[in-house]
């Protein structure tokens, strides 16, 4: 059995609740599909929480933006958050994040952050059976869209565990998945959103950057929407 998490995005209260729930479930192995960085201000604490458990993190697009010194081509809000993280992340944590591989396999599950054509920045919003015909294996997991779901077709299973730190499916609870005997289960857990907001306010961010957490949407969205990261 393995728990798969994704898109933590510097949200320590969400990550803490997810890890506690995984422990309560008795799951000992955890994999992270990337994007520990981006959006919220506790990137050091989130990296250190993963490192303390020897959790392998795959390279996500925000992890890449932070470690490469580049910026998001799509979001000014994301770039402001990344600028804050560049000023605050420790050199040791930055090196750990930079060493994140683009792909991984655990318990027979092929894992990337985005998609299998572009592991870092491909969006799988429209999941079709023919997409997976080109790839070997029967079990697949990726994040990036922040939208949780399971698709089964032609003997193959694809699961997006959703986002720990910024869900975008209208459910504000932190999301993850657990795979047992080759089958994924979607999981949610409530966390202290108020504490995340207080941390962001203390770091100098306006409500625009975190009020979406109460709605389960992206930054700036008034209702459920997965676009723009």
Domain contains 228:
no
Token digits of residue 92? 């040791």
Mean pLDDT along residues 20-39:
97
pLDDT computed for residue 75 by the predictor: 86
For 117, the domain range is 2-214
Residues 116-162: pLDDT tens digits?
999 999 999 999 999 999 999 999 999 999 999 999 998 999 999 99
Domain contains 24:
yes
pLDDT computed for residue 73 by the predictor: 86
Q: What is the pTM of this model?
A: 0.94
pLDDT computed for residue 159 by the predictor: 98
Domain contains 220:
no
Domain contains 19:
yes
pLDDT computed for residue 227 by the predictor: 40
Q: 29 CB contacts (<8 Å, ≥6 apart)?
A: 1, 2, 3, 106, 107
Whichever domain contains 121, its CATH number is: 3.60.21.10
Strands across the sheet with 183-189, in order?
56-57, 29-32, 2-5, 174-180, 183-189
Is the sign of the CA dihedral 51, 53, 56, 57 positive or negative?
A: negative
Domain contains 123:
yes
Q: How many angstroms separate the CA atoms of 158 and 101, rounded?
A: 20
Number of domains in the chain: 1
SS3 159: strand
pLDDT computed for residue 167 by the predictor: 98
């Amino acid at each position: 059995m393995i728990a798969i998490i994704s898109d933590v995005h510097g949200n320590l209260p969400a990550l803490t609740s997810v890890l506690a729930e995984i422990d309560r479930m008795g799951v000992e192995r955890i994999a992270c599909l990337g994007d520990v960085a981006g959006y919220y201000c506790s990137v050091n604490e989130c990296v250190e929480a993963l490192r303390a458990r020897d959790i392998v993190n795959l390279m996500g697009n925000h992890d890449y933006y932070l470690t490469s010194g580049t910026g998001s081509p799509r979001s000014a809000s994301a770039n402001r958050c990344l600028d804050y993280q560049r000023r605050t992340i420790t050199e040791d944590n930055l090196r750990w994040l930079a060493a994140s591989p683009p792909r991984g396999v655990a318990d027979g599950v092929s894992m990337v952050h985005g998609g299998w054509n572009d592991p870092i920045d491909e969006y799988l919003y429209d999941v079709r059976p023919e997409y997976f015909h080109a790839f070997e294996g029967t079990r697949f997991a990726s994040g990036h869209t922040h939208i949780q779901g399971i698709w089964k077709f032609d003997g193959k299973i694809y699961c997006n565990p959703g986002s720990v730190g910024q869900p975008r499916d209208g459910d504000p609870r932190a999301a993850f998945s657990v795979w047992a005997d080759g089958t994924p289960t979607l999981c949610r857990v409530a966390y202290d959103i108020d504490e995340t907001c207080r941390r962001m306010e203390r770091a100098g961010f306006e409500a625009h950057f975190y009020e979406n957490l109460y709605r389960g949407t992206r930054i700036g969205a008034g209702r459920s929407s997965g676009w723009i990261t």
